[in-house]
Homo-oligomer: A and B are copies of this chain.
Amino acid sequence: VRVRAGGSAAGARPRITLLTDFGTADGYVAAMRGVLATLAPDTPVDDASHAIGHGDIEAAAWCLLQYWDRYPVGGVHLVVVDPGVGGSRRPIAGEVAGRFFVAPDNGVLTHVLAANPSFELVHIDASAVVLEPTSATFHGRDIFAPAAARLATGTRLERLGTAINDPVALNVAPARQERGVLHGEVVHVDRFGNLITNVPGDWLEGASDVIVSGRSVGRPRRHYGDAAAGELVALIDSAGRLEIAVRDASAAARLGTSRGAPVTVRLGGGD
């Protein structure tokens, strides 16, 4: 089917997704779910993840990018990775390409907003939205979950607070091309130890060699299966970016590579 999954919303019920760094064992996620069950009792709630590293905004932003537009329009994506909760950072809500977002204003929406310049954002400051008493340390339960429940049940975005247009953004360096060489970096290491880069897959035509952590990986191939077990392989990942992997093992462990490591790609010539 040629229709992209997230594009067809006909018949879809609004749905809320949850992304946090809370783990589950302390009951914080369940407390948020209880608030959602009370304020939006008919809205299904999906756990995206509660295993983001403590306060790792970059990882949360990356994770969100993998799924937000695979969901139908009308749903609400709730993100609570919020180091320094209760300080001066704003709670925000937004609408991008028909989906709603609720999050702290700390950069976690960077990738979503960067790809969709036409967005609407508000600072959640309407007193009718938050639960009282409002904890100073658990805005996920007392501010973010109630705001998500309002959006899922039809409250209009502008009723949640004051419009803003200056969201905090992560400092994301794009890949660049210079005299036949692509320069990028590792932007995410996934559970399998795959190294995901910021190099767009459609820049790779004619690529003859990929180099990461000083190691030549050769030209990009199509499948993990094109490599022998244990062999390093470069390929285009499921989000359309250059990825370096080891079949059935961890490229990150093999190469000692972590987020931020430089990646270069030689174009043309080649062996």
Contacts of A169 in B (CB 8 A): none
Per DSSP, are chain A's interface residues mostly helix, strand or loop, or mixed? loop
Number of copies: 3
Whether the Cβ atoms of B248 and A84 lie closer than 8 Å is yes
Contacts of A45 in B (CB 8 A): 46
Whether the Cβ atoms of A238 and B66 lie closer than 8 Å is no
Residues of A whose CB lies within 8 Å of any CB of B are: 1-2, 4-9, 11-13, 15, 17, 19, 22-31, 33-35, 37-39, 41-42, 44-55, 59, 62-72, 75, 83-88, 128-132, 135-138, 141-142, 146, 188, 190-192, 222-226, 235-238, 243, 247-248
Residue pairs across A and B with Cβ atoms less than 8 A apart, 28 shown, are: A1-B128, A5-B35, A7-B38, A9-B38, A12-B38, A15-B37, A17-B33, A19-B30, A22-B191, A23-B51, A24-B48, A24-B49, A25-B53, A26-B63, A27-B65, A30-B48, A30-B49, A30-B70, A34-B72, A35-B70, A37-B46, A37-B71, A85-B224, A85-B225, A86-B224, A136-B235, A137-B224, A137-B243
